[in-house]
């Protein structure tokens, strides 16, 4: 890697941003693999700037009330619920 | 099932009659089936039972098809071998001891083994075409926007399409007829551009007289010798039937793999943020604050390859790196599109080996992720360019199946079906 060598600390930082806990052994393995993969991604530097003239049209629909899942169905896969709501961990 | 083709074997009966009455279909396990668990090959969703059907599943049922099971796959579609599945690897029915390709390996294997007449997979960077090639069956990656993604669990949503498998091109085309067309639940879809009375399956005439085939030289470089030989034999076969070929150059595809992986990983890091163990999936418990419990749920629920892609995607989008990786990858994507447009101005279709290598042996390729990414060199450019492509059996090398890929202009599926049906 040129000036962006991947360190174990960087892998831990990104894992924290992505909300994925990693075991120490995973951090070691990913550090080596990420260095290889990111070095390969560096070749994107050779890509010229290109006009991106996508010929696309927005697809709109009227903003009308429609049927949706009822809450019982929506809650069925939740590990825990309370009073008809999803139960999540503490926010702070 | 000795080959470990299905994650869940359960029959879902369709309507009494319709164009697919009496036909059996395997459905990749990232396509939602109401009341039948849909795991995405992940421990995260091992118990997840969708409360609704994907649009394509509704259309299968309306067409009278019988769904026979939910097919094995690389976890969340991330892999080229189906070995990253939490539920174990699938053996290749056409080449026992070898991988069936991925990520839709179970779908292709189901058709190759005769466990289903037809199958649905999804293709983000080759995940229909690779297993079709490795299992010796036909697979179609439709133009972006031809098939609804409603109910497909998202991985790289600007790249992926649901696509059909069959033993023959006509079989796959018949399934495409059922699933294609606009859907108000997926705003990126449009109606299939067919004339009145026209279908995809009736394009499977095998008529290639006068067909002009462009062969991008970059997609032959570095490919296995036996694969290249089998490829040219198939081209010669098409020439015998009146087609002609010429070589073309697509300089941009030299950067397609890195552009694809930056974009797909970036999208994955965002799409998979929804798996926090609260509304569905592996729970991280209720001790500590939400960042801690989410991180615990995701550590336990995701396998290696999924973690790798989420982390690299998060990295590529993070402050200070966005312009270097993501923005340059979007430039490369636009360049690839331009290159394909120009090459298709001078040819009816483009042809390449679907995969530059024959199927790997089971367990052979798991340790080096980068080497495995490079095996996608011939399939990912098509997703970057939003184009349709088909993989059709071209023959064998040392007893292992080789696939021929044909690439067409946007919404040119009929042209691909006509050309490919000359071979299978």
Q: Domain containing B171 — which CATH number?
A: 3.90.1300.10
Per residue of chain B (424 residues), give pLDDT as tens: 468 999 999 999 999 999 999 999 999 999 999 999 999 999 999 999 999 999 999 999 999 999 999 999 999 999 999 999 999 999 999 999 999 999 999 999 999 999 999 999 999 999 999 999 999 999 999 999 999 999 999 999 999 999 999 999 999 999 999 999 999 999 999 999 999 999 999 999 999 999 999 999 999 999 999 999 999 999 999 999 999 999 999 999 999 999 999 999 999 999 999 999 999 999 999 988 999 999 999 999 999 999 999 999 999 999 889 999 999 999 999 999 999 999 999 999 999 999 999 999 999 987 889 999 999 999 999 999 999 999 999 999 999 999 999 999 999 999 999 999 999 9
Chain A contact set for B262 (CB, 8 A): 41, 44
Please give the domain boundaries of chain A with CATH numbers for all domains. Answer: 8-46 (1.10.20.60)
Q: What burial letters (b/e) apply to B329-366, b meaning 16+ CB within 10 Å?
A: bbbbbbbbbbbbeebbeebbbbbbbbbbbbbbebeebb
Find the length of chain B: 424
Structure tokens at B231: 């490829």
The upper half-sphere exposure of residue B325, i.e. CA atoms within 13 Å in the direction of its Cβ, equals: 27
Residue B410 counted as domain residue: yes
Cross-strand pairs, B33: B36
B contacts of A44 (beta carbons < 8 Å): 255, 258-259, 262, 324-325, 328-329, 331-332
**Reported pTM:** 0.97
* Residue A1: pLDDT over 50: no
Measured in angstroms, the CA of B376 and the nearest CA of chain A are apart by 14
Contact between B85 and B75 under an 8 Å Cβ cutoff? The reply is: yes
CA distance from start to end of chain B: 27
For B313-382, the DSSP string reads HHHHHSTTTTIIIIIHHHHHHHHHHHHHHHHHHS-SEEEEESSSSPPPBTTSSTT-HHHHHHTTTTTHHH
Report yes or no on B365 lying in a domain.
Answer: yes
> What range does the domain containing B53 cover?
6-252+334-420
DSSP state of B32: -
| C-alpha span between B424 and B420 (Å, rounded) | 7
Q: How confident is the model at residue A59 (pLDDT cuts 50, 70, 90)?
A: confident
Tokens 């729970």 locate to B283
Assess B258–A contact: CB distance below 8 Å, yes or no.
yes
Query: Which pLDDT value is given to residue A56?
Result: 79
Residue B266 within any structural domain of the chain: no
Q: Compare all CA atoms of chain A with the CA of B289 and give the residue at the minimum distance.
A: A90
Dihedral in degrees, nearest 10, Cα atoms B47, B50, B53, B54:
-80
**B391 in a structural domain:** yes
User: For chain B, what is the domain count?
Assistant: 1
Structure tokens at B164: 């059909």
Q: What is the mean pLDDT of residues A69-74?
A: 94
At A10, give phi and psi (nearest 5°): -65, -40
Residue whose tokens read 């490079």 = B374
pLDDT at B2: 64
Instruction: Please give the average per-residue pLDDT across A22-36, as a whole number.
Output: 96
The answer to whether residue B271 sits within a structural domain is no
Is B1 inside a domain boundary?
no
Is residue B324 one of the residues assigned to a domain? no
Q: Given pLDDT bands bounded at 50, 70 and 90, which one contains residue A58?
A: confident
Report yes or no for ipTM above 0.90: yes
- Look at residue B301 and tell me if it is in a domain: no
Does the distance separating the beta carbons of A38 and B279 come in below 8 Å? no
**Residue B194, Cβ neighbours under 10 Å: how many?**
17
Question: Distance, in angstroms, between A76 CA and closest chain B CA?
Answer: 8
pLDDT over threshold 70, residue A4? no
């Amino acid at each position: 890697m040129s000036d962006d060598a991947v360190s174990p600390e960087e892998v831990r930082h990104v894992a924290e941003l992505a909300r994925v806990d990693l075991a120490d052994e995973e951090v070691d393995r990913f550090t080596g693999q990420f260095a290889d993969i990111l070095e390969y991604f560096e070749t994107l530097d050779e890509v010229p700037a290109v006009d991106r003239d996508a010929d696309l049209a927005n697809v709109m629909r009227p903003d009308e009330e429609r049927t949706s899942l009822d809450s019982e169905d929506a809650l069925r896969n939740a590990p825990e619920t309370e009073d008809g709501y999803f139960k999540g961990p503490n926010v702070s | 099932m000795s080959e470990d083709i299905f994650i869940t074997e359960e029959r879902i009966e369709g309507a009494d009659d319709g164009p697919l009455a009496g036909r059996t279909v395997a459905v990749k396990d990232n396509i939602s089936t109401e009341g039948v668990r849909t795991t995405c090959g992940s421990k995260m969703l091992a118990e997840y039972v969708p409360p609704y059907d994907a649009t394509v599943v509704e259309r299968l049922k309306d067409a009278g098809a019988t769904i026979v099971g939910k097919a094995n796959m690389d976890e969340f579609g991330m892999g080229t071998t189906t070995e990253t599945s939490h539920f174990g690897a699938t053996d290749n029915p056409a080449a026992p001891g070898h991988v069936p390709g991925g990520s839709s390996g179970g779908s292709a294997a189901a058709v190759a083994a005769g466990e289903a007449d037809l199958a649905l997979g999804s293709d983000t960077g080759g995940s229909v075409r690779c297993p079709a090639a490795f299992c010796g069956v036909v697979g179609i990656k439709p133009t972006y926007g031809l098939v609804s993604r409603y109910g497909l669990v998202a991985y790289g949503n600007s790249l992926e399409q649901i696509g059909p498998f069959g033993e023959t091109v006509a079989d796959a085309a018949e399934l495409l007829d059922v699933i294609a067309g606009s859907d108000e639940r997926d705003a990126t879809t449009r109606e299939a551009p067919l004339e009145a009375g026209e279908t995809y399956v009736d394009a499977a005439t095998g008529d290639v007289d006068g067909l002009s085939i462009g062969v991008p030289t970059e997609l032959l470089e570095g490919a296995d010798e036996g694969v290249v030989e089998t490829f040219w034999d198939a081209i010669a076969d098409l020439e015998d039937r009146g087609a002609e070929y010429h070589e073309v150059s697509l300089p941009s595809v030299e950067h397609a793999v890195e552009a694809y992986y930056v974009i797909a990983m970036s999208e994955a890091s965002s799409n998979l943020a929804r798996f926090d163990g609260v509304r569905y999936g592996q729970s991280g418990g209720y001790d500590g604050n939400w960042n801690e419990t989410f991180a615990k749920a995701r550590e336990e629920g995701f396998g290696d390859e999924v973690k790798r892609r989420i982390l690299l995607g998060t990295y590529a989008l993070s402050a200070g790196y966005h312009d270097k990786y993501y923005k340059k990858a979007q430039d490369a994507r636009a360049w690839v599109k331009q290159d394909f447009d120009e090459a298709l101005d001078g040819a009816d279709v483009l042809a390449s080996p679907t995969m530059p290598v024959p199927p790997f042996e089971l367990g052979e390729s798991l340790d080096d992720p980068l080497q495995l990414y490079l095996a996608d060199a011939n399939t990912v450019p098509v997703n970057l360019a939003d184009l349709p492509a088909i993989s059709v059996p071209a023959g064998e090398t040392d007893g292992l199946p080789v696939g021929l890929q044909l690439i067409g202009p946007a919404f040119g599926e009929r042209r691909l079906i006509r050309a490919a049906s000359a071979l299978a």
